[in-house]
């Protein structure tokens, strides 16, 4: 495995961390891998570590090349600079897809909280649309303006070209209302976009993978929240190979 960090903008501390696995000899028929671009949360004030490497390692175990974008935070630059960071990250991945053995048609964007807003904005407001979106307790409505007034609500930008989306949140999230996820799911349904949505009964905001390495034992968390990661990987398999969907969407 290779581990490298590419500086996108030194002044704004914008970096792309790359975890690259091998292909070819020792990996059977595997010549290219899917890729995941992860945007941690943090209210656009910081990039949460708990939603970075632990998430990347989960996708790597499933065979992905994994990338973590640490984007511009508000103390170093205003919106839409994070959106520009997203575009630059995707361009880097695209330009290295042969060298890094990536199937660029299997690129997935994953975002949490404010990082979910960025992942979704990248898919809806730029030409760099991933094959699928995974949005965890994401800020998708006007609620984002509580944190960054310049950031747009994304619900009204959903259309029939929105990537298939896997959504998850908890009903009692006190930091980001579950209505963000529910309204986004409704917009996807209105435009006949393939989606899967999980609303778990309870769990404190920011649980990431819900593993013990990121989740405090004293924080009540519904037992199946941790299933979002394997479930989202199965969802992406369905997106990547639509001929094998049963029933067909």
Alpha-carbon gap, residue 238 to 39, rounded angstroms: 23
pLDDT at 15 over 80: yes
CB burial string 131-156: b at 16+ within 10 A, e below: bbbbbbbbbbbebbeebbeebbbbbe
Query: What is the arithmetic mean of pLDDT over 22-38?
Result: 87
Count Cβ atoms below 10 Å from residue 198 Cβ, excluding itself: 17
What pLDDT score was predicted for residue 24? 76
pLDDT at 118 over 80: yes
What total of structural domains would you count in the chain? 1
Tokens of 139: 């800020």
What pLDDT score was predicted for residue 218? 64
Tokens of 102: 């990536």
What pLDDT score was predicted for residue 216? 66
Lowest-pLDDT range, 20-24, 81-85, 167-171, 189-193? 20-24
pLDDT-derived band of residue 140, with 50, 70 and 90 as boundaries? very high
What pLDDT score was predicted for residue 242? 72
Give the pLDDT confidence of 221-248 residue by residue, as tens digits.
999 999 999 999 999 999 998 765 555 4
Residue 50 lies in a domain: yes
Tokens of 28: 């059977």
- Percent of the chain residues past pLDDT 90, beyond the cut: 88
Residue 72 lies in a domain: yes
Residue 249 lies in a domain: no
Residue 7 lies in a domain: yes
What pLDDT score was predicted for residue 248? 46
Give the pLDDT confidence of 175-221 residue by residue, as tens digits.
999 999 999 999 999 999 999 999 999 999 999 999 877 776 667 99
DSSP secondary-structure letter at 153? P
Helix, strand, coil share of the chain (percent; to 5): 30, 25, 45
Residues 6+ apart with CB under 8 A from 246: none
pTM value is: 0.95
Residue 39 lies in a domain: yes
CATH number at residue 135: 3.40.50.1820
For residue 28, the enclosing domain spans 2-244
> What's the distance, CA 175 to chain centroid?
19
């Amino acid at each position: 495995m290779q581990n490298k960090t590419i500086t996108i903008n030194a002044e704004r501390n914008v970096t792309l961390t790359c975890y690259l696995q091998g292909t070819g000899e020792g990996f059977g028929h595997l010549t290219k891998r899917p890729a995941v671009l992860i945007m941690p949360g943090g209210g656009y004030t910081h990039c949460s570590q708990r939603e970075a490497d632990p998430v990347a390692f989960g996708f790597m175990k499933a065979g992905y090349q994994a990338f973590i974008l640490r984007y511009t935070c508000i103390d170093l630059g205003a919106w839409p600079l994070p959106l520009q960071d997203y575009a630059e990250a995707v361009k880097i991945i695209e330009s290295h897809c042969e060298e890094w053995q990536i199937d660029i048609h299997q690129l997935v964007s994953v975002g949490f909280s404010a990082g979910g807003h960025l992942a979704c904005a990248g898919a809806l407001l730029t030409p760099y649309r991933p094959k699928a979106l995974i949005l965890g307790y994401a800020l998708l409505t006007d609620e984002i303006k509580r944190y960054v007034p310049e950031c747009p609500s994304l619900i009204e930008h959903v259309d029939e070209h929105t990537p298939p989306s896997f959504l998850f949140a908890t009903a009692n999230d006190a930091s980001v209302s579950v209505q963000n996820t529910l309204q986004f799911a409704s917009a996807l349904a209105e435009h006949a976009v393939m989606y899967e949505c999980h609303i778990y009964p309870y769990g404190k905001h920011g649980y990431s993978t819900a593993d013990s390495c990121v989740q405090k034992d004293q924080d009540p968390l519904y037992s199946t929240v941790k299933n979002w990661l394997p479930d989202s990987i199965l969802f992406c398999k369905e997106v990547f190979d639509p001929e094998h969907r049963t029933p067909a969407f």
